[in-house]
Structure 1
Amino acid sequence: MSDLHHIREIESVRAGHEAARHPIVVESWLRCLNEHGLDPTARAAAHIVTERELRLHRERSGDLIEIARSGIERLYALVAGQNYVLMLSDRDGVTVEYLGDAVQKEGLRRSGLYLGAEWSEARAGTCALGACLEAGEALIIHQTDHFDVTHAGLSCTAAPIYDTRGQLAAALDISLLSSPLPRASQSMALNLVRQTVRRIEMANIMAENRHDWVLRLAGSPDFLDVDPEAAVALDGAGRVIGATHGAMRVLTAAAGVPWREGHRLIGRPLSDFLNIRLDRLDDLTRDRPAAERLIETRDGHRLFAHAIEPRAQPLRSPARPALARTGALPTPLRALAGDDPAMASLLARAAALAPSTLPVLIEGETGSGKLTLARAIHEVSGRRAFVTLSAAELSEPEAEAQLFGRIAARRVENGLLSELGGGTLVLQNVEDLPERVQTRLSRLLAEGGFVPLGGLRPVPVDLRIIATSQHGAARLRPDFYHRLCGGLLSLPRLAARQDLLWLARRMTESAAGQRLDLPPDIMRALAERDWPGNLRELGFVARALAGLVEGRSLPVAPALALLGPAQPKTGAPSEAALLAQMLEASGGNISLCARRLGVDRSTIHRRLRRYGLVGRG
């Protein structure tokens, strides 16, 4: 196919005409045109990052490289002598590990099939690594499937690698400088790269969860114990704490959840997805023949299972190694969690990220503690100013100028970014950012500088950006989202945390100003709530409970009246209901209610009006 024919085909797709291409290729072409602003007539040379940038990308991917290395070397041995190149890319599309024929070194480097090459879709157009990272699925981009005619001779096949929390972490690519003409010639490569990724994810979950139950799954008993298809990690209470991507597909199907939202399943009981009794996991170990270890998913599919018991801890080690690591965390981070392995792991990652300049994206439900975590990371980093901005506030052009500054008629008006050098900027609810602001900030993250409104040249700035989000990537430009994900931290729901009661006691004691023992009935009532408002709701409840303290004890009857009856895990009382209950427990006396909540009378009156409870007192 000639270059002109290829360009005309892409322009035809832009115009809405059907193309004789795989749908995933057409979707990528449209992203290149409409989201990345790429020009199909422009030829782009391969982009190889600098040695310093490569070192940074490889440092961030160190654990992944170690886990993946044996799988990559095994795959390369299988295709030896066929001129294939293997590339492991990080979430940004930068090649952090590479295996190729040294004889072809110069040609491979010119083509970008080399260590340090960036294959993000925004940079390189439609390519296997870039499209794989965008779509989250294994795919083939064969010859003229590529957007850029420069790559039209390549045939590339890639599969995504997911972490145990269901987040896309990397991609593995197997490519040829030139290949047989038919696209189907790469079907074997697709199967091989999928198998390798599955084994890498399996090795990762086994390494991360040596001291937890791991349930390995397969559709047939024959290879269950030697080469399983999927795996789920469980805590001592039988809740999901991690899974391979294959397992996430099984669990999301059983729960009726879109497969891309597997991270929502973390913290839920395994029995929500599989018809299995946790006290019978022993029946699924190798003590029984594989053919007898049959289980069923909630949506009626049958699988064979292999339960692997937690490894015994060395006597010199504490019962939970993750919690032992938490003790070594910097104080601002250590104060955010108690005895919860998932939070211990998250805070360890936060501690590792804190000293760097990498952007951080903190995801979580409303009230889950995103801003608190952002402030703790800033305190550990030792950076100067700490400024928070609501992304919705940047919708007006004038607000945009206040952030980036403006150059007009020889006059320079500095913005907040210019004054924040050496500091941290927190963008709250980053999904509310207008697209034009996302574009500017994406450039800042990529190049370390920003262009003021009306300006032409970027202004360098030393700035750390932390973003918070309730909705993840759904409403963000892909390039901006990928650059934000230098560090991705996903906070769990409060109801899924094992340190819920520790947090409740700590917050109540803090509000009461003294040590307290929460009676068992109150502890049970706290544990049975669903906490839709998460830590924010818990804080309100803690202040309310502290207001009931008499002497050094918390009376059970008023506290249970405040908390209300045990409720299903879908509708715990709202803040309005809690206020009404507190007012009732105070006999309708607003002054007493205010004293118990630690606020003044005007605050109670204001909240009563806000919730339509006027007349209660």
Structure 2
Amino acid sequence: MTLSMRHADRHADRILELVRSGRPEIGSDIVAQSWGRCINEYRLHPAKPHDPVFISRVELEERRARQADIIACARYEMTTLYQQLADVESAVVLTDTDGVIIHMVSSPEFAAEVGPLGLRVGGKWSEHDAGTNGMGTCLAAGGPVSVRREDHFYTQFTQLTCSAVPVYDPSGEIAAVLDVTSRSSLMQQHLLVLLGMTARMVENRLIDARYRNAHPLHFHSRPEFVYTLHEGKLAVGDDGRILAANRSALFQLGMQSMEDIRTRKIEDLFQTSLEDMLQRSMSSSFHPVVTYRANAALRFFAVARRPATDAKGAPLALAAGAVAAESASVVAPTPQRVPPRPAVPRPAGAPGSIFKDPRLTAHLDTARRVIARQTPVLLCGETGSGKEVFARAVHEASPHAGGAFVAVNCASLPETLIESELFGYRAGAFTGAQRTGRRGKILQADGGTLFLDEIADMPLELQARLLRVLDERQVTPLGTEETHPVDFQLISASHQHLPQRVREGRFREDLYYRLAGIELLLPPLRERSDRRDLIAHVLATESGGVGALSAEAERLLLEHPWPGNLRQLRHVLRTAAALADGRPITREHLPSLTQVAAPAALPTAVAQARPATPAAEPAAADTALPVKLNPIQANERQVLLQLLEQHRWNVSNVAKALDVSRNTLYRKLHKLHIEVSHPD
């Protein structure tokens, strides 16, 4: 008898003895209970060979079609969790309520190893089909479960450890199971916490997906928990009736089930109405406002928004992945974390001093001459090519250098706030406003320079108002009839081709000619002849003047194509400086320049979700942050940095990957202190 056969016999004998003995553990241990069901109800035998069960391709396609919204909501969260685990011998799995795997994220190597065991899309893992296992036992028990190696019913699964949690739909019913299967048997309780957090993010996304016509309302008893994983979330109809709620909302409101809350209106829960909450949220720039529990003294902080399908409403919060509902991402252990060191001040320097490329110096000289005659300047170029740094250099050598340089990123503001940010407003201009008036950006730029970045993203209705301000040189704040004369020099920028936007009817032709007094094309980093000097300058800035490059590292930096331009260079060197920790930067400190991309031929997230190498590298850069983030924010920041690197610092592509607006993504990046508008 071989060693494996003896092991199988011992494993089977142990299960049979425990179940037949009727020991007390049977009634209290979730695994022992599962063994009992396998033998007594399903008539399975642990010593008999188990053949994996697969459904047909046609049935699989039908199941995936029925679960399309759940898969869409879980896909990115699963990929993020897999990357955070940084374990090549693991898989993140999603099953339906019959235990059929409908989506899976893993490395190609591990997927090939466990595929013959049935761990692949289409495999069936209910207890009846596969005995005791994480996915099937989670469904049978109706709650989180960890099934370690020897806990599995069948011997061939004892090389694996499974942890699984249920995913609930907006009606409160189990809709799917989220599972991590790996060769490791460590930290399963911690992994259950991570899975639970991921499941809650999927549930929040599912509410957004199924109630896009409803008003999302976020609340918590503590303001810092609004827009986080711990927030309560409601979907509210136009009539104020509650359509759906997440589990945190039920708990905070003292409700037992969705049936308890679906009969209520917002006035039954809080001392406010839907319209009042919407107006107060808008006037507070969607920061949490105070409200109270109906018929009680319990205080909450809440934010309400217009439906996602309302084009005139405020943008939805991040509804996907590490930025789900603008909440935090899962906190996962990160290997080989670099010890933090004190942040060092960055050396100051004149922005113009970093331009040594002949084309840039010529452009800079041209811009300085024309702006002295009040001629508007339009800067064009790829994302991250340094448009704002260039604009600052023009300002500092202009007749208005004594005034303020006011930058406005038109893509980073919600459409409902661009107008108030640009033109300002008086106190009480919004119904229910509890704040004082505010000078808009145009008034702030009086006597200085107004820099309108991503001007192509300005809404059409505001383009007309901006054109009037440029022609009349006076501005009227919202909520008042008073006009204020303004004198500022204008610099605009866009990575989009404005003439094409004009032809498409998405940008006013008269405003384009008003902005483009002179149009300058900034070269991308890969075409600049001063790359070596620029790399040295950025490294000195990011390392506090103590960074040094090895010859090989310098060669890698000089030869890299830099699709993300200066923005990508800055973050690569910031990460490298943190990893080197005062030592010379070598090849190993530049992982994003040396990693091999996943093969494009692999069609699913399995290929795309290669484990981060290592996942701690972006997090290491966080040690230089001047602002301390909590663990959830730090981890969310790490995930977004990885996505930006993956998409070569193209914010538009990252926003498309997350299925959110660029405005929403810009707000999240700003909140997490990820610089994407400096330079641009």
TM-score of the aligned structures, taking structure 1 as reference length: 0.44
Q: Relative contact order: is structure 1 or structure 2 higher (C-alpha 8 Å, sep ≥ 6)? A: 2
TM-score by length of 2: 0.40
